[in-house]
């Protein structure tokens, strides 16, 4: 991941709470939409098979990304658990030639059996729910790959080159479609600027002419 959480006690703004309640599910709603029982969720938590909430608000509610409903329903259909279902998808996307997952970044080397477990560990932290609209393995891999592309393009800027401009615009806009909006709470707990700020907003502001229709 590009964001790392801090341990400092932080506060939510009214705007943050509105964003969270509009885009995430509290545990009761998660149970209602997925059909799972709280007892089963607690069992999964105790076995390390369920992700931490993306947010815990002052009212005591735990908030999860809607994507988790998909993993829960599949778990119930297959008599498995969210971890196993996530790992199935992770292995599929990591089997694509050319890229592997290493500590939150995508590198162009060969497949490593431990990569799916590393991706699950990051997903289990709950933080990818704050970073991606749908924090599934495919989006996680896309995010890492797109950030790598943007970093490479920015390391050799050629704003006068049409191909360079087109490549930068495509990578930034593709990242924009999968990245979440983030909250001010996220910016505080991640220590300042988040990936959306660095690789989307800042790039668009610096090269405004590239992103004009």
Q: Who contacts 59 (Cβ-Cβ below 8 Å, separation ≥6)? A: none
The three-state secondary structure class of 156 is coil
Q: What is the pLDDT along the chain (213 residues), one digit of tens a residue?
A: 566 554 456 899 999 999 999 999 999 999 999 999 999 999 999 999 999 999 999 999 999 999 999 999 999 999 999 999 999 999 888 887 655 555 455 555 455 668 889 899 999 999 999 999 999 999 998 998 899 999 999 999 999 999 999 999 999 999 999 999 999 999 999 999 999 999 999 999 999 999 987
Using CA of residue 28, residue 34, residue 35, residue 40, what is the dihedral sign? negative
Report the 10 Å Cβ neighbour count for 159: 11
Beta bridge partners of 25: 64
Which residue shows structure tokens 């030639």? 97
- DSSP 8-state class, residue 51: P
Residue 182 CA: distances (Å) to CA of 9, 20, 72, 124, 185: 18, 9, 24, 18, 8
Output the six-digit token pair for 42: 């607690």
């Amino acid at each position: 991941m590009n964001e790392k959480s801090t341990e400092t006690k932080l506060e939510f703004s009214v705007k943050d709470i509105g964003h969270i309640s509009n885009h995430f599910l509290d545990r009761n709603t998660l149970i209602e939409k997925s059909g799972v029982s709280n007892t089963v969720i607690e069992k999964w938590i105790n076995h390390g098979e369920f992700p931490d909430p993306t947010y815990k608000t002052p009212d005591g509610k735990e908030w999860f990304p809607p994507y988790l409903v998909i993993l829960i329903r599949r778990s119930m259909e297959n008599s498995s658990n969210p971890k196993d279902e996530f790992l199935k998808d992770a292995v599929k996307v990591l089997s694509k030639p050319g890229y592997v997952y290493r500590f939150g970044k995508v590198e162009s080397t060969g497949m490593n059996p431990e990569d799916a477990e590393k991706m699950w560990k990051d997903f289990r932290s709950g933080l990818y729910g704050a970073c991606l609209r749908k924090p599934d393995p495919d989006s996680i891999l896309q995010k890492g790959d797109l950030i790598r592309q943007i970093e490479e393009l920015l390391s050799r800027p050629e704003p006068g080159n049409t191909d360079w401009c087109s490549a930068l615009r495509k990578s930034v806009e593709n990242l924009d479609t999968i990245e979440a909006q983030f909250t001010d709470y996220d910016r505080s707990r991640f220590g300042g600027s988040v990936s959306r700020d660095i690789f989307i907003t800042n790039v668009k502001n610096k090269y405004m002419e590239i992103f004009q229709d």
